[in-house]
Amino acid sequence: MICLGIESTAHTFGAAVIRNKEVLSNIKKSYTTESGGIVPQKAAEHHVAEFDTIVKDALEKASLSIKDIDLITFSNAPGLGHTLRIGAHVARSIAVLHDVPIIGVNHCIAHLEIGKLLTKAKDPVLLYVSGANTQVIAFEGGKYRVFGETLDTGIGNFIDTFARYIGLGFPGGPKLEKMAYLSENYIRLPYNVKGMDVSFSGILTKLKRLFDESKHKTEDLAYSMQETVFAMLLEVSERAMAHCGKKELLLGGGVACNTRLQDMAKKMCEERGAECFVLENQYNVDNAAMIAHLGLKMFKAGVRHDIDMPIDPYERTDDIEVSW
Ligand code: ATP
Ligand code: FE2
């Protein structure tokens, strides 16, 4: 079966074509800003302007035409209402025009499922670290459950806010990563793990204050920030692995591109006799291949959705009954 997937939960609009378990194309374009954060309306306008070219590129790269598509899937949750709606409209229009079935999928679960497809992971704990999301997810009792999460902002948004404060553009994560490699001078920061959850706002306040005092090198702040928040995330991930008796950790989300986080995760897994799986960057960041893959998997397991399958900006990972 050939499936076209559409991703539009936030600043990225993506289209991908897969043939069963083979990714034939995975195209995306992201709305970015020089300063300030994402304005949902602007991101939606970006998607409206770009979707046509992105879908065409995905088909062309796969050497297929729209008539070859057997199924269309889209991320219907969770995310920004403004942008989710654009993806839903695009998917519904193609489904109606070409008379193909449609499936709406949960974006967070798609991150985990693409990891299982592209690595040898069978039943991993997923540390999902993106702009808006920070969750530790694992399959237990028929559902994907959130074992720990952020109590305030997502880690990527936290990193980007700090980066913006010190004058770096958006996204700031890759720039701070490079800077952090220039230092090994740890400055003590708050370490905020509360049970299985983490929080970043106190650390952000402290970092801003330290930056304003100008007593420390920016590289030292970048280094200390990474060491602290990555240790927090891996503490919670390790506890979830111990609790569920799982021996695999999968990293996902844009922040999973960070090589320091990857190294720390590998070390933690090594020490507890577990395996750590890291994806290629194109599958860490928001992408439509994962939406195509999960939707097709659901369809093959018998899941059917109506053409007016609604979007749900606030759907929780464990709202979904897993029948596939
Ligand atoms: P979601 O809708 O799933 O929350 P998103 O729209 O935030 O996703 P992603 O592409 O998953 O998009 O993640 C983007 C985030 O990843 C940004 O905050 C960016 O700074 C961060 N990021 C990307 N590369 C790195 C890196 N090397 N180190 C740290 N953070 C990174
Ligand atoms: Fe994501």
* Domains of the chain from N-terminus onward: 2-110+283-319 (3.30.420.40), 121-278 (3.30.420.40)
Q: Which residues line ligand 1 (CB under 6 A)?
A: 9-12, 79, 130-133, 154, 156, 159-160, 171-174, 177, 253-255, 257-258, 285-286
CB 31, CB 38: distance < 8 Å: yes
Residue 33 confidence (pLDDT): 76
Distance 126 CA to ligand 1 centre (A): 16
Q: How many residues in the chain?
A: 324
Residue 182 confidence (pLDDT): 98
pLDDT along the chain (324 residues), means of 10: 98 97 98 79 97 98 98 98 98 98 98 96 97 95 96 97 91 95 98 98 98 97 98 98 98 98 98 98 97 98 97 95 93
Q: In one letter, which amino acid is 84?
A: L
> Taking Cα atoms as reference points, which of 255, 250, 284 lies closest to residue 269?
250
Residue 170 confidence (pLDDT): 77
Distance 129 CA to ligand 1 centre (A): 7
Per-residue CA distances from 76 to 88, 153, 297 (Å)? 7, 22, 16
Residue 213 confidence (pLDDT): 97
Distance 285 CA to ligand 2 centre (A): 6
Per-residue CA distances from 207 to 34, 202, 213, 225, 264 (Å)? 22, 9, 10, 8, 22
Distance 302 CA to ligand 1 centre (A): 33
Residue in the block written with tokens 């330290």: 210
**Closest C-alpha residue for ligand 1 atom 5:** 131
Distance 70 CA to ligand 2 centre (A): 25
Per-residue CA distances from 149 to 154, 234, 306 (Å)? 9, 12, 32
Signed CA dihedral, 276, 199, 131, 186: sign only: negative
Q: Please choose from 257, 262, 282 the residue to mutate so as to test ligand 1's pocket, defined by most ligand atoms within 8 A of CB.
A: 257
**Closest C-alpha residue for ligand 1 atom 18:** 156
Q: Which atom of ligand 1 is nearest to the CA of 259?
A: 27
The 3 state secondary structure assigned to the chain is: CEEEEEECCCCEEEEEEEECCEEEEEEEEECCCCCCCCCHHHHHHHHHHHHHHHHHHHHHHCCCCHHHCCEEEEEEECCCHHHHHHHHHHHHHHHHHHCCCEEEEEHHHHHHHHHHHHCCCCCCEEEEECCCCEEEEEEECCEEEEEEEECCCCHHHHHHHHHHHCCCCCCCHHHHHHHHCCCCCCCCCCCCEECCEECCHHHHHHHHHHHHHCCCCHHHHHHHHHHHHHHHHHHHHHHHHHHHCCCEEEEECHHHHCHHHHHHHHHHHHHCCCEEECCCHHHHCCCCHHHHHHHHHHHHCCCCCCCCCCCCCCCCHHHCCCCC
Please enumerate in sequence order all residues whose Cβ is within 8 A of that of 146, keeping only pairs 6 or more positions apart, or say none. Answer: 135, 136, 137, 316, 317, 318
